[in-house]
């Protein structure tokens, strides 16, 4: 998936992203709210689209939309599982954890793909991205899943990265 970096594509991708955030934040599809969202998102996108080159790598297609919806489903499932794991740790009479920082490798090349992966890992309770260097993310975990780098990479980011690779290239 190769997209040419250009201002119109950046504008459209930024505008759509901002409009979706607006609609979710307002939690309504009333005509006036949607019109204000369209206008405000367009003004912001117009002002910042020339600076936001990361949005030019998004090439919307039915396949990308399908994988994005799959990503949201996988993220929701992993979010629930991580919340339950953290709840078990918090309510356990004995703390049986192995906290630490793990270095995991990512194959994502686009900056927005790496950003999405880092934010996804950070939003999952029990993990936090502390640094990104080259192709590696440094993840602080409440409970280290494995000291083996390839196994830890698969357990922490594998499910997300496969889908993000299709979405962001």
Q: Residue 117 sits in which domain range?
A: 66-168
Same domain, 35 and 85: no
Q: Please give the model's pTM, rounded to 2 decimal places.
A: 0.74
Do 76 and 150 belong to one domain? yes
Is residue 1 in some structural domain? no
Structural domains in the chain (count): 2
Helix (H) or strand (E) holding 127: strand 127-133
Examine the domain organization and report whether 85 and 160 are in the same domain.
yes
- Both 73 and 119 in a single domain? yes
Cβ proximity of 83 and 125 under 8 Å: yes
Do 94 and 145 lie in one domain? The reply is: yes
Rg, Å, the chain Cα set: 18
Q: Based on the fold, state whether residues 79 and 154 are members of the same structural domain.
A: yes
Is 46 found in the same domain as 16?
A: yes
Per-residue pLDDT of the chain (169 residues; tens, 9 = 90+): 445 456 787 888 889 889 998 999 999 999 999 999 999 999 999 888 777 666 667 777 899 889 989 999 999 999 999 899 889 888 988 888 888 898 888 998 888 889 899 999 998 888 899 999 988 999 998 888 777 778 888 888 888 999 999 888 7
Give the Cβ contact number of residue 153 at 10 Å. Answer: 22
């Amino acid at each position: 998936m190769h997209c040419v970096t250009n201002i119109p594509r950046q504008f459209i991708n930024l505008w759509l992203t901002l409009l979706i955030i607006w609609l979710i934040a307002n939690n309504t599809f009333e005509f006036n709210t949607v019109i204000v969202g369209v206008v405000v998102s367009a003004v912001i996108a117009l002002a910042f689209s020339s600076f936001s080159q990361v949005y030019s790598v998004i090439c919307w297609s039915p396949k990308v939309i399908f994988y994005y919806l799959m990503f949201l489903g996988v993220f929701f499932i992993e979010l629930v599982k991580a919340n339950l794991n953290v709840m078990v740790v918090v309510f356990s009479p004995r703390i049986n954890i192995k906290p630490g920082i793990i270095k995991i490798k990512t194959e994502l090349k686009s900056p927005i793909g790496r950003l999405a992966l880092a934010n996804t890992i950070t939003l999952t309770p029990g993990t936090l991205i502390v640094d990104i260097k080259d192709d590696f993310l440094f993840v602080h975990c409440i409970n280290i899943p494995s000291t083996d780098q390839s196994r830890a990479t698969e357990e922490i980011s594998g499910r997300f990265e496969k889908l993000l690779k299709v979405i962001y290239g």
